[in-house]
A and B are shown apart, each in its own frame.
Chain A
Amino acid sequence: MTIAIRGRSTNESRRTFLKTGGALVVSFAIVDAGAVAPPTAAKTVAADQVDGFLAIDARGHVTVFSGKVDLGTGVETAMAQIAADELSVPLDRVSVIQGDTALTPDQGVTFGSLSIQNGGMQIRQAAATARDALVSQVAAGQGVAKETLSVKDGVVMPKSGGKGWTYAELVGGRDFQLKLDPKAPLKDPKDYAIVGKSIARFDIPEKVTGRFTYMQDFKLKGMIHARVIRPRAMKATLLAWNDFVARKIPGYIGCIRKGNFLAALGRSEWAAIKASRTVETTWSEWRGLPDKAKLWDYIRAVKVNKDEELQKVGDSAEGMKAPNAKLVSASYDFAIHTHGSIGPSCAVAEYKDEKLTIWTASQATHLLRKQVANMLGMKPEDVRCVYIEGSGCYGRNGHEDAAADAALLARETGLPVRVQWMREDEHGWDPKGPPTLYDYRGAVGGNGTVHAWESQAFLPDRPKDIAVTLLPAELAGLPRDEAHPGNIQGSLAIPYVFANVKATAHWLAETPFRPSWIRTPGRMQNTFANESFVDELAAAAGIDPLEFRLRNLNDPRGVELLQRLAKLAGWSPRGAAGRQSGDVLRGRGLSYVKYELVRTYVGVVADVEVDPKTGQVAVRKFYVAHDCGQIINPDGLRNQIEGNVVQTTSRTLLEDLQFDRSTVTSVDWKTYPILKFPDVPEVAIELIDRPTEKPWGAGEPTAAVVPSAIANAIFDATGVRLRSVPFTPGKVQASLEKT
């Protein structure tokens, strides 16, 4: 059951803060239409200053400034919970402003399951510093010891009772002027009253009644609309274009062309769409994409920039020679995926007095600001990026590119421009989760002892910076950053205590599409291969997969998690019964991860049914045991875990980006199907709360174990290994026929 905080509204929070200010003069208001004023007073965004993260106004209302943004995950509410509890103020007196480069500190990109773990903890520490300072201020003023004072509902008062001093009186409307103290004492976890509770999310009432302002709803006065006309082939050159037909469309303004970047502008959205469809273009031929049918041959042939050893224990080559050991080898591959946000990317930009403001749903406003400034030859301080929540974002999708489209067009036209990507833009042109390939070798004894483990991953290389090229910079031939798909080598190293281990990344010089981080980047693919191969070794040794893992773990937290998972799922040893026959083959598979070996523990059991005639796989149920340390909001956490399971089941069973030699041909939901309601598995969850531990991330880890659990369940049902994601009926049938 969730707990509702009455009388609050996400849009209202921002408006209220901006009207009343903390110590800040009104900057702009989110309105559907209206004048936008540039910032008139500088608020610090320094991450080592309390004022960077917190403001308390004259009424005692607290505003939290979060560089991490809510991508539909509920972190807005969670951040408010963390700050309210640490400050000892009621939750309805806290609101959160997110991802505004003029107002919020740069806390890094909202990725990697780090919003609570890193971003939230910075905010907690700022709140602890503020609280400690306010208590000290009263203690000094009254000539009493700090220890004689306590804080309740934003009032500092003597523990013995009597008159108190409100935060509003102490600092209301003024800056703290205080360095964030990394050692400021945190509350004792047992005193948390808001953290750990299933507080109802602030944004949901507005979202379910059509009152929420998404990025796609944001309007500026005098705003025009643009649609970008994409090349026929991804790297084709624009040879000629004309808009003779478009000129007859009422409301059509014209086209802007910069190199291979071409956009149609309209006074109305529909005029821009119609015009973009009637502009005639001639593009050069380009057939530079690899042959999809031979994608993995292509990957094997790509130049390796360098090899990197990610884990090394003992001598794996020697271990392979262990007497009486079974040698097992297998290769795995994982398809190219698109983010598939339900709402295509959208942004609004305004260029005025040599300053650029971009309203964007970007997960990375601070990074975007640098990238756009670089693209346009501007100073970063002349660019402001303001976050407005858009459609769900699971990594860097098209939001940044749409923002750059809008920025370029705003500067070219001098008018506020809204760019809304169409469905085919989002599917066709968002940066992709890159294809990954793995080779494994192992030696296992009959008693389950693993004598050697070797994994080799073929991953796209990581140039110097964490950035993905901005699409309009590429098309228009403007300065651009180098691409980077994120820390995709994580979780290739394994949590098991094997005598000889070698995990190697082969960093590839190229990959077919702009690479991006899509939920659990690399870690999902690496864990798929790892946990599939663990299952193969267990089967080779004839040992139950749960038992096999437990024997090779020496981490009590991991062991406890697996034991609780086994109980939740009613696990019984596998492999004992003979192979099934009949119309429906049922199986269950297990998978486990300690995320990147340093944080969240997740174990899952998947129950599947395979139709041997059609090769159709139905995932019926997932059991999840989850330990991310201190839980901030249990219901929010469950929501994330369910989402991880369902989304990744879709990726595992169905998703495989299609393309020809020139361009992406998965351009809508028919050509890139995702899981629909009738096929969604049930999810049973056991949360392991550890209130005295650090809180770790939960946006990604569960997704890491989903593909391998399904693969292992299919093996349990059929005796066949599925080593290539997605497990489409065609692939399943082909594998069944081979045996």
Chain B
Amino acid sequence: MKVSFNLNGKPASIATDDPEMPLLYALRDDLGMHGPRFGCGLGQCGACTVHVDGKAVRSCSMPVSAVAGKRIVTLEGLGTPAKPHPLQQAFIDEQAVQCGYCINGMIMQAAAFLQTTRNPTEAQIRAALAENLCRCGTHLRIVRAVKRASEKMA
């Protein structure tokens, strides 16, 4: 079957024999995306987070057929090294990365969160990212980066 959707502002489609294949594999293997990452495949860590119609979802646990006709944004679609999204710039400014493997999820989750919560407190940011795991222990910088971006975006 063919599944078509909008990816980072452009039409995209993939052919698959399995409508149940998680969106993550379509994005990474068929469409060459590097932003969304495989972390657990269980929806527990958040490394695979993308936006589907503006909402942060775990692409490892969403069947590709469920996104037909929808609007998907990945970390690459948020901004570029030359023209980063305010959140991406804030992560650079705060050097809020160690290995960076979880950072896709942190930025995508935070971007969706900041759409609905304009001037979050630190506690609100921590709560919003509670289901995104980081193993290197970069949490404090990540919180500072989200706070910084929220101030820029306000």
**Interface on A for B, CB 8 Å cutoff?**
2, 4, 9, 32, 71-74, 200-201, 203-214, 216-217, 250-251, 268-270, 274, 339-344, 389-394, 420, 422-423, 635-636, 639, 642-647, 650, 668-670, 674-678, 680, 682-683
Contact = CB atoms under 8 A, between A and B. Distances in A.
Nearest to A200: B95
B9 interface: no
B57 interface: no
B84 A208 contact: yes
Contact of A209 (B37, B81, B101, B138): B81
B3 interface: no
6 contacts: A207-B100, A209-B76, A342-B45, A646-B138, A677-B130, A677-B132
A204 B129 contact: no
B25 interface: yes
B35 A669 contact: no
Contact of A646 (B40, B42, B137): B137
B126 A642 contact: no
A677 B126 contact: yes
A206 B101 contact: no
Contacts, number: 186
Nearest to B79: A209
B63 to A, nearest CB: 11
Given A213-B34, A678-B130, A343 B103 contact: no
Contact of A210 (B42, B44, B104, B125): B104
B25 A270 contact: yes
A643 B18 contact: no
A507 to B, nearest CB: 30
Contacts of B25: 268-270
Given A72-B99, A678-B126, A211 B141 contact: no
A682 B140 contact: yes
Q: Name A's interface SS.
A: loop
A410 to B, nearest CB: 19
Interface of B: 16-18, 21-22, 25, 28-29, 32-35, 37-42, 44-45, 47, 74-76, 78-81, 84, 88, 91-93, 95, 97-104, 107, 123, 125-127, 129-143
A91 to B, nearest CB: 16
Nearest to A392: B99
Of A9, A636, A646, A677, chain B has the most CB atoms within 10 Å of the CB of A677
Contacts of B41: 422-423
A209 B137 contact: no
Contacts of A392: 98-99, 101, 135-136
A646 B25 CA distance: 32
B15 to A, nearest CB: 11
B139 A677 contact: yes
Contact of B137 (A9, A214, A343, A643): A643
